[in-house]
Every structure is written in C-alpha cells, then in structure tokens.
Amino acid sequence: MRNKKRIEEILHKSKENGWVLEPDAKKIFSLAGIAVPKYNVAHTLDETVSIANKIGFPVVAKIVSTEIIHKTEYDGVAVGIASQDELETIFERFQALPGFAGMLIEEMVKGVELIVGAKNDTQFGPVVLLGIGGTGVEIYQDSSIRMAPLAHNDVSAMLDELKGKKLLYGYRGKPAADIGALARTLVIFSKIIMHIENSFESIDINPLFCNEGGCIAADARIILK
C-alpha cells in the first residue's frame, strides 16, 4: 500500500477528535490510490472565491466541523452552486453552524451513488460493505459484506448480491459504470482497512460516484476506536 506513513500521521492527528474529518479522510483515501474529487477547504470568504474559480463552477460546498458527523442533518451540504454570490451566502450560513472549522469546496461529480464502508467486526475483524448509497442508504439496505482483504472475485460476488446492481450496467440509456475501476477501488479500500485495523471502528465512503470514467469517493468519514 502506498503512503503508509502519511496515512498514519493523519490518523494520529485525528485521534483526539474520535473521527477523521472529511478533508482528512479524503486525503487518506487519495494517498492510498482511491480517486477523490478536486477539493480544497476555505476558511475565509476570500478563499471561497479563489478555490471555486480554480475548480470551476458549478461546485459542491460542505461544512467542516468536528461537531457535525452527519452533515445533511444540519443542512451542511450544498450542491450545484453556480455562482460566487451563491457560494458566499452559503459560506455565511455555514459559519453559524456549530464547530465551524471551514468550508470544503469541491467539483461536482456525477454517477451511480454507492456506499463503500468498513466495520471492525468483533468476530471477523475488518469487513467491507458495498451497497447502493446516497442519503437513503439505511432505508434501502441494499448491501453486501465480505471480509477484508478482498480478492477481485469477491467484488463480483458482492455486486451479484445487490438488487440495485442493474444501475451500474447502463440503466435506461445511461452509460455503464466502470466496473473494473470499482473492483480496484474496493480492493485498495480493503487493503487500507487491514492496514489501519487497530485504529478504526467504522468507515463510510458515501457516496462513491461510479460512472463510465471511474469511481470517485465524494464523501468519507472514518470513525476511530
């Protein structure tokens, strides 16, 4: 696995907080070789503009706060932001949320929303979950679980267990998602969790956007032990 040392440093830094904030979690996954959207964190109004211009509108904005684990519950996620004005209004609103530590600004990504997760199971150790993602993830409960580390054939067996797998093979005229990239992402992910076995309790990458060009981890959170 790549960049083991830097990953450990980030985990160490987050230990006190109990969980790894989104920008740091994304950093960990991108260091290990999982694709993430272009992003940066703005701490001031001025920064929002320069970051958004660099990434290019439309963008997504998300609250960064050690006090907010589920961002949507605080209305802390805004998508499809098309202008500077809009972005500034959102920044001002986020500033008022508990524990505000910045605003993450990232490129808009599209595709089928999956969840890739991990749990440090008492009986079986690190296990990987693949499911249909998004905010309705706990309603649909369409997911499959295997023990880490994963082999490529484990990934196809996991996909076979998903009722929603058809969404990935080009549903209603949409192009099929890159299944090879999904398999690579899951295999890398399973290696990361084996490596950080002693540190984590559970992990959500939700959503992982899968499209014809690959798979991108658009949100991530690591709950530490």
Partner 1 sequence: MDFSSFFRPETVAVIGVSYSSDQHPANVIFSKNLLRYPARIFPVNPKGGELLGQEVFSSISKIPEAIDLAVIAVRADLVPLIISECIKAGVKGAIVISGGFAEVGRHDLQDALIKAASKDNFPVIGPNCLGSFCPGFIDTFFLPSERVVQPPSGNVAIISQSGGILVDLLVKFADEGIGISSAISIGNKALIREIQLLEHFSHDPETDVIAFYIEGFKENEGRHFVKKAALCPKPVVVIKSGKTEQGSRAVSSHTASLAGDYKVFEGVCKQHGIFVAQDEFELVNYCEALSCYSESSGRKIGVVSASGGHGALSVDACTHHGLEVPVLSETLQKELKEVLSENVKSIASIGNPIDLTGSAKEYDFVQTVEILSGSDEIDCILLLILPYVPGISSDLGARVSLIYRKFGKPLVAYVPHVDKYRMLIEGFELNKVPVSSSIEGAVLMAKAIGTKRNA
Residues near partner 1 (CB under 8 A) = 19, 69, 115, 117-119, 121-125, 127, 129, 131, 137-138, 141, 143-147, 153-154, 157, 161, 201-204, 206, 221, 223
Is 51 or 77 the residue whose CB approaches partner 1 more closely? 77
Q: Cβ 222 to partner 1, closest distance in Å? A: 9
Contact 209, 112 (CB under 8 A): yes
For the record, the structure tokens of 41 come out as: 């964190």
How many angstroms separate the CA atoms of 135 and 207, rounded?
Answer: 8
We find the least distance from the C-beta atom of residue 115 to partner 1, in angstroms, to be: 6
Cβ(88)–Cβ(45) below 8 Å = yes
We find the least distance from the C-beta atom of residue 89 to partner 1, in angstroms, to be 29
Q: Which is nearer to partner 1, 16 or 138 (CB)?
A: 138
Nearer to partner 1, 179 or 224 (CB): 224
| Sequence-ordered list of residues with C-beta below 8 angstroms from that of 118, at least 6 positions apart, any chain | 126, 127, 128, 129, 148, 189, 190, 193, 200, 202, 203
> Which tokens in the block code for residue 19?
């969980």
Question: Which CB, 51 or 155, lies closer to partner 1?
Answer: 155
Residue 223 CB, nearest approach to partner 1 (Å): 5
CB atoms closer than 10 angstroms to residue 69: 14
